[in-house]
Amino acid sequence: MELKLNEIRETALRLATTTPVTDMHTHLYSPEYGQLLLWGIDELLTYHYLISESFRWSNEDYDHFWSMTKREQADWIWQKLFIDHSPVSEAATGFITILQRLGLDVSSRNLNDYRQALEQRSVNEQVNTVMELAGIEKIVMTNDPFDPLERPIWLSGKGKSDPRFYAALRVDALLNDWPHAVKELQSLGYEVQQAWTEQTVAEVRRFLGEWIVRMDALYLAVSMPGDFSYPEEDHRSRMIDDAMIPVCQEQNIPFALMIGVRRRVNPALKLAGDMSMLSDVSAVEALCRRYPNQKFLVTMLARENQHELTVLARKFRNLMIFGCWWFLHIESMVEEMTRFRIELLGTSVIPQHSDCRVFEQLIYKWEHSRKIIGKVLADKYEKLYLSGWHVTEAEIQRDLDDMLNHNFWRFLGKENELSK
């Protein structure tokens, strides 16, 4: 049934907040991964986004901060960002959204009550509650065979025992720290050497192929610095051309590139010390042109790259742009990006991923983004209505299913996962 003008906004917002989501890039794990799955109040407060924000209010010695227990760090951050100042940043407001949605009394400001309430829950219970509250159906993890905590779980065959969680094979070291990757590969029994020999290429391919199969990885993923350039006479281009693209094609999976990070500009902040960096969109253009049958999932970190990258997706159907990554995952940027992506690409985009590291973050990251996506779509449907094009509720549902769920699986050629 066609919607009336005054029904459009409410319908778009309601469906945007309830449509099941596939979260196609996270740093979350299923409960089988034990300590790798982060959840609870202290993990939430020590999220690296909040760590860097807290240091703006303090001359605390970095090393002293890192020597504190997690609980002490959480207390310190709570004091700085929530008590001494108002929690108006995206990450701080997000923490409040989580408390509220979990049914805790936000107005009490009693951190120990919040801790206690969550500590009474089991991890399985919390995973189920959060997925239900956030409307998340499927979660893609970030999986690194070089991680000594993660590798044994895969080798014991338990890596993919929860059907709601999917794997993505992360290959950063192979592209960005080859000497380290050589050591890791050698210790795993692959006969590689620093020089780019035929045997090394064959062994890297064997490694990638075996781990894609072991993980049933949906895609290969890497985050790149902004000065990534392609094609070049360098290690990265050789690795991509000789090993990664051939294996992706053999296995029929996309290659995901997250471009524009400058790691550790302030090393004392550890994970919180990474910076955003302008990137060269023409590297992606060259890849899409050279490999028209290879699918690329791409996101960039600099705001200045977003428009050009979106235009590029109009030129190459093998390019799917996704998410508002990291420092762009703030309400003003999500709105700006969602609006011009829809204006340039219609609904053929994956507007958001969460990048969550702590499980309950799914609640705020998706709630905040869903509202914006609903609002932007409502503006567009209302405009269409006034031109005489009247959408139905089923059509709005279809569009949101595409953006929040189906586009990802369709791009992978795995629509069958949607019925699971």
Which residues contact Zn ion (rule: CB under 5 A)? 355
Omega before residue 231 within 30° of 0, cis: yes
Q: Which is nearer to ligand FIX, 326 or 340 (CB)?
A: 326
Q: Which is nearer to ligand FIX, 134 or 258 (CB)?
A: 258
Minimum gap (Å) between residue 193 Cβ and ligand FIX = 27
150 touches which of ligand FIX, Zn ion, none (CB within 5 to 8 A by kind)? Answer: none
357 touches which of Zn ion, ligand FIX, none (CB within 5 to 8 A by kind)? Answer: ligand FIX
Contact 114, 104 (CB under 8 A): yes
Biggest CA-to-CA distance, the chain = 66
Minimum gap (Å) between residue 256 Cβ and Zn ion = 10
Q: How far apart are the C-alpha atoms of 112 and 104, rounded to whole Å?
A: 11
Write the Ramachandran bin of 259: left for phi over 0, alpha for psi from -120 to 50, otherwise beta.
beta
Q: How far apart are the C-alpha atoms of 375 and 396, rounded to whole Å?
A: 12
Q: Which is nearer to ligand FIX, 270 or 307 (CB)?
A: 270
340 touches which of ligand FIX, Zn ion, none (CB within 5 to 8 A by kind)? Answer: none
Q: Which is nearer to ligand FIX, 257 or 400 (CB)?
A: 257
Q: Which is nearer to Zn ion, 99 or 215 (CB)?
A: 215
Q: Which is nearer to ligand FIX, 101 or 270 (CB)?
A: 270
271 touches which of Zn ion, ligand FIX, none (CB within 5 to 8 A by kind)? Answer: ligand FIX
Minimum gap (Å) between residue 267 Cβ and ligand FIX = 14
Which residues of this protein are in contact with ligand FIX, per CB under 6 A? 223, 258, 271, 326, 355, 357
Contact 281, 289 (CB under 8 A): no
Look up residue 273 and give its DSSP letter: G
Q: Nearest Cα to 39, choosing from 25, 53, 28? A: 28
Q: Which is nearer to ligand FIX, 360 or 399 (CB)?
A: 360
Q: Which residues pair with 320 in a beta bridge?
A: 297
Minimum gap (Å) between residue 271 Cβ and ligand FIX = 6
399 touches which of Zn ion, ligand FIX, none (CB within 5 to 8 A by kind)? Answer: none
Contact 137, 22 (CB under 8 A): yes
| Sheet strand arrangement including 136-140 | 21-23, 136-140, 165-166
Closest residue to Zn ion, based on beta-carbon distance:
355
Helix (H, G, I), strand (E, B) or coil at 275: strand
User: Can you list the positions of beta strands (E) in 112-189?
Assistant: 136-140, 165-166, 169-170
Minimum gap (Å) between residue 27 Cβ and Zn ion = 6
Minimum gap (Å) between residue 140 Cβ and ligand FIX = 11
Closest residue to ligand FIX, based on beta-carbon distance:
223
DSSP 316-353: -TTEEEB---GGG-SHHHHHHHHHHHHHHHTT-SB---
Looking at residue 227, its amino acid is: D
Q: Which is nearer to ligand FIX, 27 or 339 (CB)?
A: 27
Q: How far apart are the C-alpha atoms of 1 and 315, rounded to whole Å?
A: 35
Minimum gap (Å) between residue 243 Cβ and Zn ion = 22
Q: Which is nearer to ligand FIX, 259 or 396 (CB)?
A: 259
Minimum gap (Å) between residue 142 Cβ and Zn ion = 6
- DSSP H or E stretch at residue 242: none
Minimum gap (Å) between residue 226 Cβ and Zn ion = 16
